[in-house]
Amino acid sequence: MRIIWLAKESLRKILVRGEFDEYPNDNNMHCTARLVDMLDQYSNDLHKCPGSDSSNNFLMEEFKVLEEAKWIGLPNLMPRTAFLTLLQNKVKQISSMPIEFIDNVWDYLEDVVVVEIKKLTDYTCNPEYLSEYNKLMANQNEFIKNVLADEYKPLVELEGFGNVDVRHLWHHRTLLSQAFDLKMRLTAYWRIVLRRLIDSTALHLQFSNFSLVDKDLEDEIVKDMMSPNGGGIEKVLEEASSVAMKRDNLNKSIEVLRGSDNVEKKKHAKAASTESPCQYISLRSMSAPIAHHCLLIISEEKKKMKWS
């Protein structure tokens, strides 16, 4: 359990708290900084992708959808189906980008729901939606007037879109007002969708880091240890062959030393009975360094086995 705790603490420092004192010179291990870089790039890619370009082929897609979304009802009511169809088409164009981002950062995540939930409904409680929509719709009358003017200018300037090519709009006079309204609704809502995608991905990533360090890591290790099919706890406790060999060698050395000790004791006993006291002390002083050296060897071997 101490190994699990140390692993969790190390990952918590790197992934959650953003500390990199263990790897000061390895930029790849500075995880929080690298995640911010990847999120910034992800945000830029989302805003620059073709699905986020509102000025390209201006209002043509809206015309196509409105033609197919005709219904029996009041002419000033916008068909909700038309808005959802356009929204789903735009989401489909960027749907692969969040998945690719998650794969690059979190390669064990297999299913990303962050994209799919955006297709289910056109709801937001963000007050910026209405203010942005009203701001865009304030240009409607002037824009339509310029498009339908007698001089037929091919380019009309529209705030937020720049100079827009309007030559293809001259053939859709009856749907022009509805298409413009639909375009502005989608433009205002699309900015909220992109912001929601980026924020939710960042929050999900941070939450996954917390879950990995605090729960998933320990659960997976315990599951592997207790698994009946995978060897479980026996696999952890199984002694490596190199350690077993060292243990045998050490046991043999200990037996040899014990035998040597018995021989030394016999020699000392014999010397004490036959030699003079001075000679006996000399013999003991000679054998002491040998015994001390043997003890040092045993101590070193035990340390090696411990760290193995």
Q: How distant, in Å, are the alpha carbons of 7, 102, 224, 281 from that of 220?
A: 13, 21, 6, 64
Task: Show the 3-state SS of 252-294.
Answer: HHHHHHHHHHHHHHHHHHHHHHHCCHHHHHHHHHHHHHHHHHH
Between helix 140-147 and helix 176-211 the angle, nearest 10°, is: 130
Considering the chain, what percentage of its residues have pLDDT values greater than 90?
Answer: 0
Please report the pLDDT score of residue 178 as a whole number.
85
> Which amino acid is present at 12?
R
User: Residues 218-259: pLDDT tens digits?
Assistant: 666 666 666 666 555 555 556 667 777 887 888 887 787 777
Please report the pLDDT score of residue 30 as a whole number.
58
Virtual CA dihedral for 288, 292, 295, 301, nearest 10 degrees? Answer: -140
Give the residue extent of every domain in the chain. 2-233, 239-307
Q: pLDDT class for 92, splitting at 50, 70, 90? A: confident
User: Residues 152-195: pLDDT tens digits?
Assistant: 677 878 887 888 787 777 777 778 888 888 888 888 888 887 78
Please report the pLDDT score of residue 247 as a whole number.
78
Of 123, 126, 167, give the one whose Cα is nearest residue 147. 167
Please report the pLDDT score of residue 61 as a whole number.
77
Please report the pLDDT score of residue 204 as a whole number.
72
The alpha carbon of residue 219 and the mean position of all alpha carbons in its chain are separated, in whole angstroms, by 19
Please report the pLDDT score of residue 81 as a whole number.
77
Please report the pLDDT score of residue 15 as a whole number.
59
User: Residues 22-58: pLDDT tens digits?
Assistant: 656 656 565 667 677 777 777 777 777 766 666 667 7
More confident residue, 262 or 271: 262
User: Rounded distance, CA 13 to CA 7, Å?
Assistant: 10
Residue 272 structure tokens: 């004490």
User: Rounded distance, CA 218 to CA 57, Å?
Assistant: 54
In the block, tokens 């696999």 appear at 235
Of 195, 191, 201, give the one whose Cα is nearest residue 87. 191
User: Residues 93-147: pLDDT tens digits?
Assistant: 777 777 777 666 654 333 323 343 454 456 566 778 788 888 888 888 888 888 8
What pTM did the predictor assign? 0.41
More confident residue, 288 or 35: 35
The alpha carbon of residue 182 and the mean position of all alpha carbons in its chain are separated, in whole angstroms, by 37
Q: pLDDT class for 150, splitting at 50, 70, 90? A: low
